[in-house]
Structure 1
């Protein structure tokens, strides 16, 4: 290929989907280029047409899509002539020899992209088999080699694992291995780090950078995360409603954005330099009355006297502490690879003696990498999972209630006072129920109001979260991701809870919709006096939302402090590593990949001895550093030594 010649050039691309009510133009006269060996980032909100462009380049667009324009691919391993992908028969030999071999794609959700019925090795080697490359023995050898290249420690053993046996980060690595097994010239990465925690995200980013340099391939990076773009891209293309608004080198785009849309996109991102009380600026404000719309909801909760009669109460909770968690432990059992008939083998606890307090009216952030135990803690608080040991005490102001052992009316009362907002706004809403039925269901279960009063309550809840009354008779599939999450919030507020557990409520949303939902949650907390336990892997989001932050690692809380203290002066090495792994949308603050991409198990070897358990046993405990700042360390270490 001649120097400077485009690897891929898209000219005047149009993609139109015929619908019952008209025609949807998903891509409108879009033009862009991808240079050999370079990373081109395609940036925009959900629904802007990014993934449609990626699918069309691969020839994977819907059969009903009407496509026009040119997609010219010049294979560096070929004769130097350009091939128009759109002119090739959809399932012909030519496009099949390019797709998967010379152009590959990794998808956003690796769990749904893998077959759960076949091993990782079978699915990766299938690509070689389809393209007629190598013998079964050589294909297995190539698979082990590529698995080692993408970071598997024991690829010869992992090749026979099933997808569900791998963590999210490991599945994404296996997806990358599948895409790279044929050493393509172009890799299309569709949101490769979305919903991954910052440490795994940094590992995937470093992996893509290293593989790009080693294999000399070009990358089309589809993302809405401008922090990832700033640390990965050579060129940037900004897409809005299918149209290219701005494109150019990454430095020109970040240093001098000209289009108002790109400026708005940057303003919607939470960052660590925000002033106290500063609000996010979403691209489109949602009209909401917040908690003011819920002032007259029926069914005000009163604590039943049966709480005393059941004996489900324990003394000792402070008046300002709404929820007190003490020594909470949960261990799951695993079996040997020999099969289900093998006896269960206990592994390390998922949650190991976790203790913390949630104060009335505050937002306590709970952060940590995947597998640290955050969601398991939330499930135990909501009684979806039973702990092995420990206490959870809820104090509504008239006396403590034992959450774990509460029964009967006390249990019903707790369910009304403690609600949850889930991570995935799609799977958490029934596709067979209208919005009216979804939001009214808690009221129906707890026999609160009926007829017109219940309808009025549902209308007030939708108004509070910025949805109009036309939503009542619609189904979840007809709403965007941000709107579905607002429906989930309305359902959680239907019973007027005091404590809301937010489990990654914005991780599946793009930055502009994320800003809307975060501002809404802050408004509702202010207007309704809500208390939040906010679980997230996005430290910038936690910094915006939380009053205090608890950091979890390997099932234990390793540091707990007021948010401003934790973000500015972290003490525990793991907390420092988490902060170092956050990609900033600022070219002047590049990510240190060598440090950020270290796994926590590897990084632990460099921790100071004070933060590591002694070989003779676990003599770790929370050291008080003053002003509500605690860090997990050996009990005999002085606080001044920990700060050093």
Structure 2
């Protein structure tokens, strides 16, 4: 048997960046090999040097970086080997390889695409640089690749701009651009971070199919061991620029040797672990809630009703900008974002709200926070001073709502002002609502920062000097400043590393226990919700399709959409790989049929929630017997 040469051999690679008074070593004496036709996963937390390694190999790292070592690429088409690091970054040789023989998918497709050029122009540009095709041939090849990555109408997508596509569709277009020249090696830098689990599964299946068709190798850069278990043949674990452990996927998952690898695996929430068992992040957060609002102080001698927030028949529609003059084009042109949604949030519980992007979760959260107005429905907050109509509150009632309902946002970078130090960010709610004098406010800010595990020294720093997990802790501290009853958490951990995610989830559980908080926890990841929630509501196309106790939803789901979400969660185990047969079909198709007991979306007036007992409701036809669904 003839042994094929290594496609890419990296040896003694070092990448460092100059800083005031010295330098930061992002990659240290790194070595690994990629074989043709194989998926090699590079695993580690943010800041471990994974992306710096990928950029160094591609020759696109900043000019300030100091790079040494060897990265020998052997082109299967010609059999010639060349050290990529020895080539001038803008020379003819590296440009002939970059984009043609080695492609790269970047982590954030929105910032990777030019907003002023169409998708087709940007894909076609790769062919213009590397081939001698005519304009018509380039368009044909680009449309073929867009069709290959899953677009139903490639000709239409070719003429669209990036902002017209969803996150998952933009990532597909990015893959088309990286693969249009049929490269031998694809470097995929966090290709599914922050995507819905179902969209993530579609992207992973797409990469798997394309790898098989094109016979290419993939360097998969990720922090998600669940993704690695479903995709990788070989795994390299990286920490602070160095290799901690390397081997086949079976070696790493069945018999991990290094403590860091074991720590990454212990930080991932999964369905096999008991829900009461605490996640084990690599670095724990020490919570100190002394001096903050307590359970007794929150309720006092008042007999609190069981339901804290009641949502009844809430509906919200948006007019399309193409529907007519100024968006007023009649009901036929309106998009239903939230469709007759009803549920209760009980005092002291965590209600998980799950579903894909575009299902209406964030729109609903904005309605509850009065960021958007509902078309129809009722939202009632049951507070100490009596019930308040959330959708129509004014004056003192509105001021009370602002203190009792708070929100933790998905992106801590954009939700924190870059021009304000942490102490001003956290103190701002206290200033607005006139809580105490200046000295008391400053003391309260210090207690809030300590409560989320940050030191006093953090108060004078600006958000850019913190990691993603630390910024999210600052957002949580700000949300707690006014002593709220309910925290609405909109995807608070979707873009964080698994270890940082474990930190934040544990922190939120600790704060709930210490302060008697109530959470509406919005997420697309059912494994995370399984760890956090007491009850779960599953949202699809603007409607709650299933709601019930967490154990029931996770162990005995009834609605096919819930089953699909569960099947799309990647788990760090070779015994629980993603079933791409269940997750590969997009749920954005215009016609959705859920089996004989469910019904097409266009007939939604004939739908109702059927009680299966124990608070378990499922959306089905009005004439369906609950016994049929239970069976």
**TM-score normalized by the length of structure 2:** 0.96
**What is aligned with 1:135?**
134
Q: 1:285 to 1:343 in 2, by over 3 A?
A: same
User: How far has the Cα of 1:191 moved from its partner?
Assistant: 0.7
SS in 1 for 2:42: strand
1:147 aligns with 2:146: yes
SS in 1 for 2:460: coil
**What is aligned with 1:254?**
253
What are the equivalent positions in structure 2 for 1:55-134 lying under 5 Å apart?
55-78=55-78, 80-134=79-133
Partners of 1:542 and 1:528 in 2: CA distance: 20
Q: 1:404 to 1:120 in 2, by over 3 A?
A: same
User: How far has the Cα of 1:457 moved from its partner?
Assistant: 0.5
1:430 aligns with 2:428: no
Q: CA offsets per residue over residues 32-55 of structure 1, 9 Å max, x none? A: 011111100000011100111111
Worse-matched range after superposition: 130-139 or 586-595: 130-139
**What is aligned with 2:628?**
641
Q: 2:315 pairs with 329, 335, 349, which one? A: 329
SS in 2 for 1:609: coil
The answer to whether the 8 Å contact 2:8/2:72 transfers is yes
1:17 aligns with 2:3: no
Q: 1:189 to 1:200 in 2, by over 3 A?
A: same
User: How far has the Cα of 1:318 moved from its partner?
Assistant: 9.4
Question: How many equivalent pairs are there?
Answer: 627
Worse-matched range after superposition: 397-406 or 183-192: 397-406
Q: 1:296 to 1:129 in 2, by over 3 A?
A: same
Q: CA offsets per residue over residues 194-247 of structure 1, 9 Å max, x none? A: 111111111001000000000111100000111110010000000000000100
User: How far has the Cα of 1:603 moved from its partner?
Assistant: 11
Partners of 2:507 and 2:291 in 1: CA distance: 13
**What is aligned with 2:161?**
162
User: How far has the Cα of 1:446 moved from its partner?
Assistant: 0.9
Partners of 1:380 and 1:603 in 2: CA distance: 26
SS in 1 for 2:419: coil
Partners of 1:209 and 1:190 in 2: CA distance: 15
What are the equivalent positions in structure 2 for 1:208-607 lying under 5 Å apart?
208-289=207-288, 291-295=289-293, 319-336=305-322, 343=329, 346-601=333-588, 605=592, 607=594
Q: 1:257 to 1:604 in 2, by over 3 A?
A: farther
Partners of 2:442 and 2:305 in 1: CA distance: 36
The answer to whether the 8 Å contact 2:281/2:503 transfers is yes
User: How far has the Cα of 1:21 moved from its partner?
Assistant: 3.5
Q: 1:338 to 1:177 in 2, by over 3 A?
A: farther
The answer to whether the 8 Å contact 2:41/2:232 transfers is yes
The answer to whether the 8 Å contact 1:613/1:620 transfers is no
Partners of 2:37 and 2:338 in 1: CA distance: 44
**What is aligned with 1:50?**
50
User: How far has the Cα of 1:549 moved from its partner?
Assistant: 0.2
SS in 2 for 1:145: helix
**TM-score normalized by the length of structure 1:** 0.94
Q: 4+ residue stretches of structure 1 with deviation over 4 A?
A: 300-303, 337-345, 601-606, 613-617
The answer to whether the 8 Å contact 1:102/1:185 transfers is yes
Query: Structure 1: which 5+ runs fail to align?
Result: 304-316
Partners of 1:614 and 1:198 in 2: CA distance: 22
Q: 1:443 to 1:208 in 2, by over 3 A?
A: same
User: How far has the Cα of 1:643 moved from its partner?
Assistant: 2.0
Partners of 2:571 and 2:593 in 1: CA distance: 25
User: How far has the Cα of 1:137 moved from its partner?
Assistant: 1.1
User: How far has the Cα of 1:426 moved from its partner?
Assistant: 0.9
Partners of 1:161 and 1:358 in 2: CA distance: 42
Q: 1:579 to 1:603 in 2, by over 3 A?
A: farther
RMSD in angstroms over aligned alpha carbons? 2.1
